[in-house]
Amino acid sequence: MQIHDLPYPDPGVPDARSGSRFLWWLFRNQLGGQLKSLAWGLLHFASVASLPFCVGVAVQAAVDRSGGRLALAGGLMALACVGNAVGDAFLHRSAVTNWITAAARVQQLLGRKAAVLGSVLTRRVAAGEVVAVSTGDVEKIGWFVEALSRFTAAAVTVVAVTVGLLVHQPALGVVVAAGLPVLALAVLPLLPKATRRADVQREKAGRATELASDTVAGLRVLRGIGGEDLFLDRYRRASQEVRHAAVRSARMWSLIAAVQVLLPGLLLVTVVWYGVQLARDGRIAVGELVTVYSSVMLLTYPLRHFEEIAMAYSFSRPSARRAARVLSLERATDTAGTRAAETPTGDLYDPETGLCAPSGLLTAVVCGDPDAAGRLAERLGGHAAQEGTSVLLGGVPLDELPLDSARTAVLVQDKDPVLLSGTLRELLDVPASRAVAPRAALEAAQCQDVLAALVQGSLGVEDPMDARITERGRSLSGGQRQRLALARSLVTDPEVLVLDEPTSAVDSHTEARIAQGVRGLRSGRTTVVFTSSPLLLDRADRVVFLHEGIVVAVGGHRELVRTEPRYRAVVTRETEEETASAAALRDGDGGPRADKVPDGLAELEELEELEEIEETA
């Protein structure tokens, strides 16, 4: 796999049982690139290691006044330099390729997992951790995968040079052979502490990233309640903790680096001192001493890769563990599907709650618990957070359909939809039936003022479709973001559209017009709206009321207000005293005066007055 071939057609199925297993799986899936990097690394390090031999031959030829051997040494040195240059260039190229392709594979796996899990992902893993895994952790994982082949080439070179010294000059070779393992293993006692400090640093950095993400996302609200300084102080303290942890971690790594410089220097001094004694005794020639000295000096270069692989592993291990934790998450329902791909039609039915949304009608669902409503909305779209009985669409279990087919049939818009940065045209460029034009969807969602605001906020833009939306739509109000998200959902024109509180941030008059626009645009299509707004409920074809997770009443809004006290308490926010007063009026038990109208009935009168105002307008 080359960089220009990315993305992978299929990144594969990762072994996410642990961080170490995940790293090993990545290595095995890039075996071809690793072998190529190893080959170029061996050429590079072998060329570097052969230079001392060439220098020793040249020095000895000069001492012996042999022109032929001096020319031979020059030729060998030129050949070694060419091998060094070629090997280094292609080693770097193959290593970077391994790094980028490994990181790209992990990012594709994370993207695929996020697409499969949907909104369930952020309920199981903090959003800040997902961001940390998909950015910094991906690079650290790629670093280890890339460094492994270079370390292997360096280790082979070190062993080969040591064996060569033992054969060529046993007296000095024994000293080198005894000293090199000490150099390679001296930092091992320091690594656990350095790794722990690095883990603490990354953990604190992840918390700071999550805190910053949450603060930026809620900045508008924080400013409104005067809590901006409080959260900024909290982030400032978190960032200082990251800084202190980074300094403590850097101290350990600087100590490791110092050891890697000190010990090779001591070995070099020992070799030179002992070699000089041997040369004075006539046991070795000057050229041989130069060869051994140069070999030991140049061995410090491949030995640096021992430190690098230790750092790469210590940094990548927790990153791989976090990535494996995300990749190990599974949907509560079947992802592949046991049925053939199809888009079923018909009634939408949930056996667990008894909720039924007839085909082609606008069904409003009232649930006293907002969290339960959100979970039910996700289950209706086939995104159940836990195992249970599958929702049926036209008698076909959604869990048995391939994920793409289930999502094509049922679209769920949660109560906090996300707007990506880009132009309005790009926002509405989504997979759709093309039966609903973007202009019609924007009009049904009452986005006229939003379009005007976007044009006003974009310099040199006349067409609202070319106006840019900032990240997550932060330049827009909550109601404007809701309406744009609703327009995007309407453009897709799915067989079943599930909306969770789509108008909670808009005023009542706009809400009434949205209800009418959605009803008209979705005519003949199945629409389910989770809401407690009387304006939306009054325009629904049928209203379903859930109490403690079970359907307890079905009918029209006005009928349920008069006949179902629990429904009226949820919709009108009645207190227990007001509910008791309404019951007393119905029973005629001498309760409050009959001329006092309960809030539930007063709410109906307000609806009728609002309708009269709209008709007049």
Residue 593: pLDDT band (50, 70, 90) is very low
Interacting residues of 58 by C-beta distance below 8 A, sequence separation 6+: 70, 73, 74, 77, 287
Q: How far apart are the first and last CA of the chain?
A: 65
pLDDT score at 87:
92
The rounded distance, in Å, linking the Cα atoms of 340 and 342 is 6
Question: What's the average model confidence in pLDDT over 214-235?
Answer: 68
Residue 192: pLDDT band (50, 70, 90) is confident
pLDDT score at 514:
94
Question: What's the average model confidence in pLDDT over 557-582?
Answer: 78
Beta bridge partners of 423: 468
Question: What's the average model confidence in pLDDT over 375-381?
Answer: 86
Higher-confidence position of 301 and 137? 137
Higher-confidence position of 526 and 176? 526
Question: What's the average model confidence in pLDDT over 209-227?
Answer: 65
For residue 487 the two structure tokens come to 């327009």
The DSSP code for 394 is T
The DSSP code for 134 is I
Overall pTM surpassing 0.85 (yes/no)? no
The rounded distance, in Å, linking the Cα atoms of 19 and 318 is 7
Q: What percent of the chain has pLDDT over 90?
A: 24
Question: What's the average model confidence in pLDDT over 163-181?
Answer: 81
**Residues 375, 341: contact at Cβ < 8 Å?**
no
Backbone angles phi, psi at 175, to 5 degrees: -65, -45
Condensed to tens digits (0 to 9), the pLDDT of residues 356-369 reads 999 999 999 999 88
* Length of the chain (residues): 617
The label of the residue with tokens 């404007």 reads 480
Q: What amino acid is encoded at 95 in this protein?
A: A
Q: Which of 50-59, 60-69, 278-287, 598-607 has the lowest mean pLDDT?
A: 598-607
The rounded distance, in Å, linking the Cα atoms of 452 and 467 is 10
Q: Mean pLDDT over all residues of the chain?
A: 82
For residue 131 the two structure tokens come to 């961001």
Asked if the model's pLDDT at residue 27 lies above 70, the reply is yes
For residue 376 the two structure tokens come to 């039910």
Q: Find which of 199-203, 467-471, 511-515 is predicted with most confidence, using mean pLDDT.
A: 511-515
**Residues 69, 77: contact at Cβ < 8 Å?**
no
DSSP code string of 55-98: HHHHHHHHHHT-HHHHHHHHHHHHHHHHHHHHHHHHHHHHHHHH
Question: What's the average model confidence in pLDDT over 93-107?
Answer: 91
For residue 560 the two structure tokens come to 């349920």
For residue 426 the two structure tokens come to 């790009």
pLDDT score at 446:
93
Condensed to tens digits (0 to 9), the pLDDT of residues 249-268 reads 889 888 888 887 888 888 88
pLDDT score at 591:
43
